[in-house]
């Protein structure tokens, strides 16, 4: 139902904003409507709901629809669950909100707020706190002092207090960091609670034995690794691990969305690349991180890992090599010989997957466990050159521990497109 209102000014509390947007804060469930005209009953996670609450408070403080546009777009996405493509309804919900909120008058609760909305149009050349590029504190202080030297007669002739008489840090807060600012920090938090080796391996086992989904049947893709340009030379940078069918295009997409030039550390040709990515993510569960909020696109990117490139590369090479041995039949079911081997592994053994892929079994004495053709492409940058022999030559026994949740809908929460 499209929200309506007789209100004429921007809401000053989150409760009034939620009322305008028809957001139910008492029942923390998906806000999408089902085919039966009923509301979806799938819950919104506690982490997402906490973030929604913060975003709503931010939107109220921003004071106008134009200032809160990006914030509300993220809210329209987060209040939907990933099941049945309900998040595809986010843009429609946002357009309904736009109809209601756009006509509302800008909230002028303080002189600083009024100044914040006027300066981008009238004083673009003379103002630093509200410009997209963050200036130094000295520049801010200098310009603030300049505004304070305005003659008393001129100040008395002004009909409205458009220029503050003293600098206020609140002026810059709503605008910092700018979406285009290259200096904006990337901050991360733990993706989930740590898991034991047994928990991680059981989750991997469950995923291996599960029939291929429609998305997982796709071939001819790549698993890629990249990091931020500023952390490229770090020993243990944050690393993004995703899949795509065209690595170069995907990096351009990330640049357009997030505003930085990704530094590719490796790219691995992969059959059933969606499946491989999920297995790799499962094995790196304890190293997985979530970006709090991307400073450019306001999205909480969830596929980051605090792990060195060599460890991640060995794990990826292990599973891309195994997948080329065609462990699944044409119907997407795992072959009996692989099922038997997997079910016979000791899930408490941290090296069990190394044994599965590179161990020698009675029924394949003549089969090479890792094909000599198990090749992959690396970035041409000298810092990311790691030999194929290094990557495939048995990864460390203290390799990262990682598992997916038992809730299979978790995959759909972050695998909704053909590439990430």
Report the range of poorest mean pLDDT among 71-75, 82-86, 116-120, 412-416.
116-120
Between 275-284, 354-363, 389-398, the lowest mean confidence (pLDDT) is in 389-398
| pLDDT value at 3 more than 70 | no
SS3 content of the chain, % helix, strand, coil (to 5): 45, 10, 45
- Strand order, beta sheet including 188-190: 188-190, 288-291, 304-306, 238-244, 221-227, 263-270
Closest CA to 54 of 257, 298, 258, 290: 298
- Asked whether the beta carbons of 197 and 401 are under 8 A apart, the reply is yes
The verdict on pTM exceeding 0.75 is no
Nearest-angstrom CA–CA distance, 33 and 39? 4
pLDDT in tens, 198-230: 999 999 999 999 999 999 999 999 999 999 998
Counted residue by residue, the chain has a size of: 420
C-alpha span between 323 and 357 (Å, rounded): 10
Name, in order, each residue with C-beta under 8 angstroms of 405's C-beta and a sequence gap of 6 or more.
Answer: 192, 203
Highest mean pLDDT among 9-13, 128-132, 153-157: 9-13
Mean pLDDT of the chain: 75
As a whole number of angstroms, the distance between CA 15 and CA 351 comes to 53
* Rounded-to-integer distance, Cα 214 and Cα 363, Å: 30
Mean per-residue pLDDT for 158-174? 48
DSSP 93-157: HHHHHHHHHTTSBPP-SSHHHHHHHHHHHH-TTT-STTSSSPPPHHHHHHHHHHHHTS-HHHHHH
Query: According to the model, what pLDDT value does residue 67 have?
Result: 84
DSSP E strand stretches across 26-80: none
Q: Where are the domains of the chain?
A: 14-101, 114-175, 188-414
Mean pLDDT (whole number) for 65-83: 86
How many other C-beta atoms lie within 10 A of the C-beta of residue 293?
A: 17
Average pLDDT of the residues in 151-176: 47
| Residue whose C-alpha is closest to residue 284's, from 245, 344, 239 | 239
State residue 26's pLDDT score.
Answer: 83
Q: Is 271 left (phi over 0), alpha (psi -120 to 50) or beta?
A: beta
Give the side-chain half-sphere CA count within 13 A for 396.
11
Residue 65 pLDDT grade (very low, low, confident, very high; cuts 50, 70, 90)? confident
Model pLDDT for residues 275-321, shown as the tens digit of each residue: 999 999 999 999 999 999 888 888 889 999 999 999 999 999 999 99
pLDDT band at 112, cuts 50/70/90?
very low
Q: Look at residue 197 in the predicted model and tell me its pLDDT.
A: 96
HSE of 380, CA atoms in CB hemisphere, 13 A: 1
Q: Are 51 and 78 in contact (CB under 8 A)?
A: yes
Indicate if the pLDDT at residue 387 is higher than 90: no
Angstrom distance (rounded) from CA 246 to CA 251: 9
Please answer whether residues 120 and 110 qualify as being in contact, where contact means their C-beta atoms are separated by less than 8 angstroms.
no
């Amino acid at each position: 139902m499209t929200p309506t209102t007789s209100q004429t000014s921007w809401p000053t509390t989150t409760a009034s904003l939620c009322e305008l947007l028809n957001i139910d804060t008492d029942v923390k469930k998906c806000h999408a409507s089902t085919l039966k005209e009923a509301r979806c009953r799938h819950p919104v996670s506690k982490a997402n709901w906490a973030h929604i609450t913060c975003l709503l408070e931010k939107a109220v403080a921003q004071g106008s629809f134009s200032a809160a546009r990006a914030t509300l777009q993220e809210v329209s996405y987060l209040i939907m669950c990933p099941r049945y493509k309900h998040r595809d309804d986010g843009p429609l919900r946002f357009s309904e909100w736009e109809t209601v909120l756009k006509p509302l008058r800008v909230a002028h609760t303080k002189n600083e707020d009024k100044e914040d909305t006027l300066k981008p149009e009238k004083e673009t050349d003379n103002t630093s706190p509200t410009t997209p590029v963050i200036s130094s504190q000295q520049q801010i202080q200098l310009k603030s002092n300049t505004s304070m030297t305005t003659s008393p007669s001129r100040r008395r002739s002004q009909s409205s207090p458009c220029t503050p008489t003293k600098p206020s840090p609140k002026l810059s807060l709503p605008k910092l960091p700018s979406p285009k600012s290259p200096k904006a920090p990337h901050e991360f938090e733990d993706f989930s609670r740590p898991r034991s080796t047994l928990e991680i391996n059981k989750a991997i086992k469950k995923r291996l034995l599960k029939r291929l989904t429609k998305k997982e049947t796709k071939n001819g893709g790549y698993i890629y690794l990249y990091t931020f340009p500023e952390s490229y030379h770090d020993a243990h940078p944050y690393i993004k691990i995703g899949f795509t069918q065209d690595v170069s295009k995907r990096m351009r997409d990330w640049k357009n969305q997030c505003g930085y030039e990704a530094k590719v550390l490796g790219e691995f040709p992969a059959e059933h690349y969606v499946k491989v990515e999920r297995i790799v993510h499962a094995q790196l569960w304890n190293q997985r991180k979530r970006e709090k909020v991307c400073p450019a696109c306001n999205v909480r990117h969830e596929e980051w890992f605090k792990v060195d490139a060599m460890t991640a590369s060995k794990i990826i090479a292990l599973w891309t090599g195994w997948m080329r041995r065609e462990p699944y039949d044409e119907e997407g079911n795992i072959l009996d010989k692989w099922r038997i081997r997997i079910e016979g592994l000791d899930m408490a053994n941290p090296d069990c997957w190394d044994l599965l892929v590179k161990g020698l079994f009675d029924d394949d004495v003549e089969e090479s466990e890792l094909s000599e053709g198990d090749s992959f492409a690396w970035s041409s940058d000298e810092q990311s050159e790691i030999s194929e022999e290094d990557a495939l030559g048995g990864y460390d026994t203290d390799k990262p521990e990682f598992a997916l949740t038992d809730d299979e809908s978790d995959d759909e929460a972050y695998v909704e497109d053909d590439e990430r």
